Amino acid sequence: MNIFILFVVDLFALFSVYLVLNLALNFQLGYGGVPNFGLVLSFTGGAMVMGWLPIRILGWLFKIPESLMSNVAGNSSIIASIINTNLQTNPLLGLGILIITLILGMAFGAFLGFISSLPAIRLKSDYLAISLLALGVILYYIGLNYFPLVGGTLGVVVPDLYTYFGINRYIIVTVIFFIIIVLLIYILTLIVNSPYGRVLRAMRDNEIAASSMGKNVIKIRMQSMVIGSMIAALAGGMYASYNAYFGIAGYDMSSWTFIPWLMVLFGGLANNYGVILGTFIYVTLEKLIAYFQYNLTFLPFNVIWLQYILLGFLVLIILIYRPKGLLPEKPSQTLSKNKVKELKS
Partner 1 sequence: MNISVLYAAIIYSSMLGLMSFGVTFVKITSNVWNVAHTSFITFAAYIVFTFESFYGNSPYLYLPLGFIIGAFLAIIEYLLIIDPLRKRGSSSLLMLVSTIAFLLIVDGIIDIYSDYLQNIYKFPSKNFILSYLDFNFLGFNGIFLFSFTFLIIILILLYLILTYTKFGIALRASVDDPILASVTGINIKYVNIFAWFIAGGTAGIAGALLPMWTQCFPGVGDTFLAIIFSVSIVGGVQQIYGTFLGSFLIGFIQIFGILGLSIIFGSSILVYQYLIPMIIMILVLLFLPEGLGKINFRKIIINIKKRRQKK
For residue 309, the minimal CB distance to partner 1 (Å) is: 4
To 5 degrees, how large is the angle CA 11–CA 15–CA 20? 155
| Options 57, 103, 138, 289; binder of partner 1; rule CB under 8 A | 138
For residue 124, the minimal CB distance to partner 1 (Å) is: 10
Determine if 258 is a binding residue for partner 1 (CB under 8 A).
Answer: yes
DSSP 156: E
Q: Which stretch binds partner 1 (CB under 8 A): 12-20, 133-141, 157-165, 195-203?
A: 133-141
How far out from the chain centre does Cα 229 lie?
A: 9
SS3 116: helix
Determine if 65 is a binding residue for partner 1 (CB under 8 A).
Answer: no
DSSP 255: I
Determine if 311 is a binding residue for partner 1 (CB under 8 A).
Answer: yes
| Options 12, 164, 261, 282; binder of partner 1; rule CB under 8 A | 261
Pairing of strands 245-246, 156-157: antiparallel
DSSP 159: P
The answer to whether 51 and 246 have CB atoms below 8 angstroms apart is yes
Site residue total, partner 1 (CB under 8 A):
44
SS3 304: helix
Closer CB to partner 1, residue 9 or residue 319?
Answer: 319
| Options 44, 131, 174, 272; binder of partner 1; rule CB under 8 A | 131
Query: Which one, of 162, 151, 181, lies nearest residue 251 by Cα?
Result: 151
SS3 176: helix
Sign of CA dihedral 155, 178, 260, 228: negative
For residue 203, the minimal CB distance to partner 1 (Å) is: 15
DSSP 324: T
| Options 142, 171, 218, 326; binder of partner 1; rule CB under 8 A | 142
The answer to whether 181 and 16 have CB atoms below 8 angstroms apart is yes
Contact code string over 81-120 relative to partner 1, x by CB under 8 A: --------------------------------------xx
Determine if 145 is a binding residue for partner 1 (CB under 8 A).
Answer: yes
> Residue 32: phi, psi to the nearest 5?
-95, -15
SS3 154: coil
| Options 130, 218, 289, 326; binder of partner 1; rule CB under 8 A | 130
Q: Which stretch binds partner 1 (CB under 8 A): 181-189, 232-240, 306-314, 331-339?
A: 306-314
Closer CB to partner 1, residue 169 or residue 201?
Answer: 201
Contact residues: partner 1, CB under 8 A: 35, 119-120, 122-123, 125-127, 129-131, 133-138, 141-142, 144-145, 253-254, 258-259, 261-262, 265, 300-302, 305-309, 311-313, 315-316, 319-320, 323
